[in-house]
Chain A
Amino acid sequence: MNSLFILAGLLEPAIGLIFWTTLTFILLLILLGKFAWKPILNAIKTREEGIQKALSSADKALNDMRELQANNEKIMNQARSERDAMLKEARETKEAMINEAKQKAQADADRIMSTSREQIANEKNAAVADLKKQVAILSIEIAEKILKSELSNDEKQKALVSNLMKDVSLN
């Protein structure tokens, strides 16, 4: 085996192997292309698209949820502020009502007080008048009684007269 021969064998392409390689390669290209690569690549592509779709729909769902949440938050805030406003209004109304009632009560009380004071005054006056009348009556009665007793007999009458006379004479 000489070296030139080896080189020739190494570097010279054999016609038989070229022929069979060409045949095999073309056959492989057709068979694999039709029965393997096409279904495999299609399946991979479909799956990738599916994954992409799932991911984007998940993303969309997340966004929707976020939006919904934001919306809810907004509604909540609105409701809260509405409630606050209502509470404030109610408080104001209450205050106003209380004030009004107070004023009214005060007015009523004042009115009642003044009428009762008037009445009391009237009553007092009447009572005083009555008392005076009673006292007058009583005094008259007492005077009558005293007169009656003073003037019950002559001696007493005389004594009285004399007494009175004394006073008179002194004047």
Chain B
Amino acid sequence: MVCFYSKKTYICTRIQNKTAFFKPMSSKINTFRTFIVVLALFFSFLSSSLYSNTQEESPNTEEHHEATATAHDAKLKKEGVDISKVAFEHILDSHYWHFWGEGHDAVVAPLPIIIYSNNRGLQMFSSAKFEHGHASYNGYKLEEEVIISEDSNEKIYDLSITKNVTQMFISMGLLLWLFISIANAYKKTGITSAPTGKQSFFEPLIVFVRDDIAKENIGGKKYERFVPYLLTVFFLILINNVIGLIPISANLTGNIAFTLVLAVVTMIVTNVNASGAYWKHIFLPKPAALWLILMPIELVGVFSKPFALMIRLFANIAGGHIVVISLIGLIFIFESYAIAPVSIALTLFIDILECLVALLQAYIFTMLTALFIGSAMEDHSHGHEGTEGATEQH
């Protein structure tokens, strides 16, 4: 038990040390964000539940302001502006790239649909064929962005190039162009000249990831092996966080599928490179008397760490987007231009905060990945006594 806690405390302290600089700010951000997200979700669920009950009487309300809110919402429903729908259209993935406008004026780019079906094989066509869910094509129809087969026996896998996938390809192209041209700059100008342009902007970031993330958390000579992985994760998250801040772009890093893949890869990398001591710590935790309790806890820890990585990035980015859209939505909820300056000022503030969060979350994800790898690779053969001795002193 002692050992279990000591290990956790150790990691916690390391994380705290790492984030000490950001801590006061990030905790404030998180509290504020959580508050706003809860508020936004409350309103959105309220309005969406109302959407299905528009014809009915307004639900029982305890408080006055709730009643006014529902009255507003009810009025909005009649005019067809559903903020939660708009918000979640922005947050969720889509088979179209919607730029601006509504209904017939909408500027929308259709994206390729790729379907793998168990009895019809691979099929590919444009999402324009669905006519925004109004038409079915080839026996498939699009319902709330989900492709459904009209044949109930058919099992399909939707491998479409969605909005998020498109943005991911764009970001991949950007990353490849950016860093290969930087690599070429090193080859061309040689190492004797000072870095210029892109090179001088990204070199500190690369060195930061190498020295302050990889070397610091993994340590020794072994860290060099993981630097390319950490750099890829860092810049992929960073670039998509930043692109996500542009209004018409997709919300890739705030999508759970994207963060899931990154977290799973981190889990694989961590466990493949784990030392014997790491496995011994999980399956034979000390003291042996508490084996029945500690072993499952340690085993859950193997999965809970990457799970936390997945949720943290997803929730932070998605939450930020919901906050921004909700604030803009205030204009439509209050149906007044007078609220616009407030709304814009708040949005500007949140957007600036999001710029920080974009960098911060990329950093935290990469840093925790490095920390997990580092702690899994740690050789406890001599460190174990030390940890126990330290806890005994406490």
Instruction: Please give, as numbers and ranges, the residues of chain B lying within 8 Å of A17 by CB-CB distance.
Output: 93, 162, 164-165, 255, 257-258
Q: Give the contact stretch, choosing among B22-30, B70-78, B183-191, B299-307.
A: B183-191
The 8 A CB mask of B11-40 against A (1 = contact, 0 = none) is 000000000000000000000000000000
The reply to whether A37 and B260 form a contact with Cβ atoms under 8 Å apart is no
The reply to whether B48 and A3 form a contact with Cβ atoms under 8 Å apart is yes
Instruction: Please give, as numbers and ranges, the residues of chain A lying within 8 Å of B144 by CB-CB distance.
Output: 1, 5, 9
- Determine how close the nearest CB of chain A comes to the CB of B38; give it in whole angstroms: 14
- Determine how close the nearest CB of chain B comes to the CB of A144; give it in whole angstroms: 133
Asked whether A22 is an interface residue with its Cβ less than 8 Å from the other chain, the reply is: yes
The reply to whether A15 and B262 form a contact with Cβ atoms under 8 Å apart is no
Instruction: Please give, as numbers and ranges, the residues of chain B lying within 8 Å of A29 by CB-CB distance.
Output: 228-229, 232
Q: Give the contact stretch, choosing among A41-49, A59-67, A101-109, A145-153.
A: A41-49
Asked whether B231 is an interface residue with its Cβ less than 8 Å from the other chain, the reply is: yes
Interface size of B by CB at 8 A reads 56
The 8 A CB mask of A1-35 against B (1 = contact, 0 = none) is 11101100111111111111110110111011101
What's the Cα separation between A40 and B189 when bound, in Å? 12
Asked whether B238 is an interface residue with its Cβ less than 8 Å from the other chain, the reply is: no
What's the Cα separation between A32 and B231 when bound, in Å? 9
The reply to whether B191 and A46 form a contact with Cβ atoms under 8 Å apart is yes
The reply to whether A18 and B257 form a contact with Cβ atoms under 8 Å apart is yes
What's the Cα separation between A31 and B260 when bound, in Å? 22
What's the Cα separation between A18 and B49 when bound, in Å? 30
What's the Cα separation between A33 and B230 when bound, in Å? 11
The reply to whether B165 and A16 form a contact with Cβ atoms under 8 Å apart is yes
The reply to whether A33 and B191 form a contact with Cβ atoms under 8 Å apart is no
The answer, among A9, A15, A28, A35, for a CB contact under 8 Å with B157, is A15
Asked whether B206 is an interface residue with its Cβ less than 8 Å from the other chain, the reply is: yes
Q: How large is the interface on A (under 10, 10 to 19, 20 to 34, 35 or more residues)?
A: 35 or more
The reply to whether A20 and B161 form a contact with Cβ atoms under 8 Å apart is yes
Known A-B contacts A2-B52, A28-B236, A36-B182; the reply to A43 vs B159 at CB < 8 A is no
Known A-B contacts A17-B93, A40-B182, A47-B191; the reply to A33 vs B228 at CB < 8 A is yes
**Chain B interface helix/strand/loop/mixed:** helix
Known A-B contacts A10-B256, A11-B256, A17-B162; the reply to A37 vs B48 at CB < 8 A is no
**Chain A interface helix/strand/loop/mixed:** helix
Instruction: Please give, as numbers and ranges, the residues of chain B lying within 8 Å of A38 by CB-CB distance.
Output: 183, 228
Asked whether B272 is an interface residue with its Cβ less than 8 Å from the other chain, the reply is: no
Asked whether B82 is an interface residue with its Cβ less than 8 Å from the other chain, the reply is: yes
Asked whether B169 is an interface residue with its Cβ less than 8 Å from the other chain, the reply is: yes
The reply to whether B261 and A32 form a contact with Cβ atoms under 8 Å apart is no
Known A-B contacts A1-B84, A36-B179; the reply to A21 vs B257 at CB < 8 A is yes
What's the Cα separation between A50 and B161 when bound, in Å? 47
What's the Cα separation between A16 and B111 when bound, in Å? 13
The reply to whether B176 and A32 form a contact with Cβ atoms under 8 Å apart is yes
Within 8 A of A (CB), among B57-110: 82, 84-85, 88, 91-93
- Determine how close the nearest CB of chain A comes to the CB of B113; give it in whole angstroms: 10
**Which residue of A has the minimal Cβ distance to B161?**
A20
Instruction: Please give, as numbers and ranges, the residues of chain A lying within 8 Å of B206 by CB-CB distance.
Output: 40-41, 44
What's the Cα separation between A36 and B45 when bound, in Å? 46
The reply to whether B187 and A22 form a contact with Cβ atoms under 8 Å apart is no
Within 8 A of A (CB), among B143-163: 144-145, 157-162
The reply to whether A35 and B258 form a contact with Cβ atoms under 8 Å apart is no
Additional pairs, 5, CB under 8 Å, beyond known A41-B206, A44-B203 = A13-B256, A16-B114, A32-B180, A41-B210, A44-B186
* 11 residue pairs A–B, Cβ–Cβ below 8 Å: A1-B85, A1-B88, A1-B144, A6-B92, A9-B144, A10-B256, A17-B257, A28-B175, A37-B231, A44-B207, A50-B191
State the 10 A-B residue pairs at the shortest beta-carbon distance, nearest first: A36-B179, A13-B257, A43-B186, A17-B257, A47-B191, A37-B228, A39-B183, A21-B261, A33-B228, A20-B165
Residues of B participating in the A interface, judged by any CB pair closer than 8 Å? 44-45, 48-49, 51-52, 82, 84-85, 88, 91-93, 114, 144-145, 157-162, 164-165, 168-169, 172, 175-176, 179-180, 182-183, 186-187, 191-192, 203, 206-207, 210, 227-229, 231-232, 236, 255-258, 260-262, 265, 318
